[in-house]
Amino acid sequence: MNIGFIGTGVMGTGMINNLLKANFSVTVYNRTKKHATNVLENGAKWADSPKEVAQKSDLVITIVGFPKDVREVYYSDKGIFAGIHSNMILVDMTTSTPKLAQEIAKTAEQKGIAALDAPVSGGDIGAKNGTLTIMVGGKSNDFERAKPILSVMGNSIKLFGSNGQGQNAKMANQIMIAGTMTGMTESLLYAQKAGLDLNFLIDMIKGGSAQNWSMTNYGPRILQNDFAPGFAAKHFLKDLRIALSTAKEMGLNLPATQEAEKLYKKMVEVNNLGNLGTQGLIKIY
């Protein structure tokens, strides 16, 4: 099977490299070709547009920045839908809106092809190691066709229901992460102020009921003054806003998530730290 992949950022690079290691033929596109250097050196082929990627692929994966980028990649004159052919599967792994996932699926169905929304969790570490959690929305038969490819990139892959439900599952995931990121930040600050050994603290939390992915993976980075983006804060702010907007449509109030959104807004839009990893939240305290 020929795989197309659009988006060679931090996440996409690790995912593509795992597909290449599994001996898949992968054709890639990115708005900035320079950012695809790593995967091209590892054997990926270049295409000059999303349309060309679609023309050369049986299954196309997208993981880009924002919903507006997703729309452009799929619907522009040189977008994916301009290059589709029969029996294709389109898999958007961007964290985007449930409504856009449903729109893409409807367009795909009208054109006689399949579409899935399959956002991921696990950050740069999960992308590199092929251990992502993948949350899928779409038809079960399309999911089964795509699952062998998804399994190269993740080790927890669940179908949550119809198109859009993968995105809803990701929103629930991001709401949880919002709590662990603010909790991790304030836990470390409290411990530092109290004069505790922060390395001991992290080890202790790993073994107790407060254990969480954020502290295990991002806590040590903070102690090493490493704020490189495993997941950029500007994208997390985008996710929180999608979650809150969708919750509002459902008549649901999420006050803790609203507070997290305010903190990340301060980090990204007031302090211009959006390109740092989410662990950079500690810099605004």
AA letter at 188: L
Average pLDDT over residues 273-285: 98
Counting other chains too, the contacts that 213-218 makes at CB distance below 8 Å and 24 or more residues apart are 213/177, 213/180, 214/177, 214/180, 214/181, 214/183, 214/184, 214/279, 215/180, 215/184, 215/187, 217/123, 217/125, 218/181, 218/184, 218/277, 218/278, 218/279
List b or e across 119-139, with b for residues whose CB sees 16 or more CB atoms inside 10 angstroms: bbbbbbebbbebebbbbbbbb
Is 68 considered catalytic here? no
pLDDT given at position 17? 98
- Token output for 3: 């795989």
Cβ-contact 95, 65 below 8 angstroms:
no
- Token output for 245: 């907007």
Task: Say if residue 271's pLDDT is above 90.
Answer: yes
Average pLDDT over residues 61-80: 97
Which of 34, 99, 158, 170 is the catalytic position? Answer: 170
pLDDT tens digits for range 89-122: 999 999 999 999 999 999 999 999 999 999 999 9
Q: What whole-number percentage of the chain has pLDDT above 70?
A: 100
CATH numbers and ranges of domains, the chain: 2-162 (3.40.50.720), 168-284 (1.10.1040.10)
CA distance 232 to 42: 25
Nearest Cα neighbor of 136 from 185, 98, 188 is 98
Confidence class for position 230, pLDDT limits 50, 70, 90 = confident
How far does the chain reach from its first CA to its final CA, in angstroms? 49
Alpha-carbon 50 to chain mean position: 19
pLDDT tens digits for range 77-93: 999 999 999 999 999 99
Task: Say if residue 209's pLDDT is above 90.
Answer: yes
Average pLDDT over residues 210-239: 96
pLDDT tens digits for range 12-29: 999 999 999 999 999 999
